Amino acid sequence: MKKLLVGLILMGMLVSGCNATPKSKPQADTRLKVVATTTIVGDVVHQIGGEDIELKVLLPPGSDPHSFAASPQDAILVHEAAIVFANGAGLEEFLTPLLENAGGEAEVVRLSDGLTLLQGGHEHEGGEEHEYDPHTWTSPRNVLAWIPLIEKALSEHDPAHAEAYRQRAAAYRIELETLDRWVAEQIKQIPPERRLLVTDHLAFGYLAEHYGLKQVGAAVPSFSTLAEPNAQELAALEDAIRKQGVPAIFVGSTVNPALAERIAADTGIKVVSLYTGSLTAADGPAPTYVAYIRYNITAIVEALR
């Protein structure tokens, strides 16, 4: 009897196994593999690529692109990518060795190529200045020029979705043109004699040039956060703040505010936080490029008018 029961159980298991639906294997993601260096570049690329691309961003939210160090995992992402989108203009100093070590055949699109770059450059304690100002994204007018470069690269690598890329690019262009007009209108609310920018480092030159602000100076008179000022430079900045009646010093969220706070204490001005090289996480106040610009401009106008 026991042998009969065991036989029936085994037969039932065999029949059940034959009738079971085999589990399907997960399908591989066949979308175009794209890498962006910074969260700002990544968001602009996402606005055009949408869900038709598999996008990875190297720098996490809150990272300073001037001091970023790539990891082995970053090398894998770059190796597997078809396109790497970078800001360019010397910002991503980590990118050249990363590309060399990663191998692969990714096309590198430097979005600041073709823009008229602000020049600068002399050495400071702690690091050498960039030859050009890499902070092109601080002006929406520059980012408008990124759009055709992104659309072209995506369409050439993925012609099946070229029309979708074209449509998204056109829609995003309208959004940034609206943003550009909004920025100009907001800046007009500041009395001309108070349109004065003092920052932690020289990050807002393009914003100042395009919208009628004056970049008086910076705690670190450099395009890089890695440089350090000397005593003479700090004294000259504090003197300029007093003489020109500068009301505030603006500090990026990824920068140690101690030096700016010292200058503010010496001169009696206030410290105002902005976002410079990075967006926030999705639940923060600047999760997209448009939100980033709106946050910064609102803070600047409120501090200066």
Tens-binned pLDDT, residue by residue, of the chain (305 aa): 433 333 443 344 434 444 444 555 566 789 999 999 999 999 999 999 999 999 999 999 988 888 888 999 999 999 999 999 999 999 998 998 998 888 888 999 999 999 999 987 544 444 445 579 999 999 999 999 999 999 999 999 999 999 999 999 999 999 999 999 999 999 999 999 999 999 999 999 999 999 999 999 999 888 887 778 889 999 999 999 999 999 999 999 888 899 999 999 999 999 999 999 999 999 999 999 999 999 999 999 999 99
Q: What is the pLDDT of residue 256?
A: 87
CA distances in angstroms from 159 to 32, 164, 166, 253, listed in the order given:
11, 10, 11, 39
- Residue 58: how many CA atoms within 13 Å on its side-chain side? 31
**Answer CATH for 188-304 from 3.40.50.460, 3.40.50.720, 3.40.50.300, 3.40.50.1980:** 3.40.50.1980
What backbone phi and psi angles, to 5 degrees, belong to 288?
Answer: -130, 165
Q: What string of H, E and C letters represents the secondary structure of the chain?
A: CHHHHHHHHHHHHHHHHHHCCCCCCCCCCCCEEEEECCHHHHHHHHHHHHHHEEEEECCCCCCCCCCCCCCHHHHHHHHHCCEEEECCCCCCCCHHHHHHHHCCCCEEEECCCCCCCCECCCCEECECCCCECCCHHHCHHHHHHHHHHHHHHHHHHCHHHHHHHHHHHHHHHHHHHHHHHHHHHHHCCCCHHHCEEEEEECCCHHHHHHHCCEEEEEEECCCCCCCECCHHHHHHHHHHHHHHCCCEEEEECCCCCHHHHHHHHHHCCEEEEECCCCCCCCCCCCCCHHHHHHHHHHHHHHHHC
Q: What is the pLDDT of residue 157?
A: 98
CA distance 298 to 305: 11
Those residues whose C-beta lies under 8 Å from the C-beta of residue 188, and which sit 6 or more positions away, are none
The answer to whether the CB of 287 falls within 8 A of the CB of 281 is yes
The residues of the chain that CATH labels 3.40.50.1980 are 32-111+137-183, 188-304
CA distances in angstroms from 109 to 3, 69, 106, 221, 240, listed in the order given:
72, 20, 9, 29, 40
CA distance 59 to 40: 10
Q: CATH classification of 32-111+137-183 is 3.30.56.10, yes or no? A: no
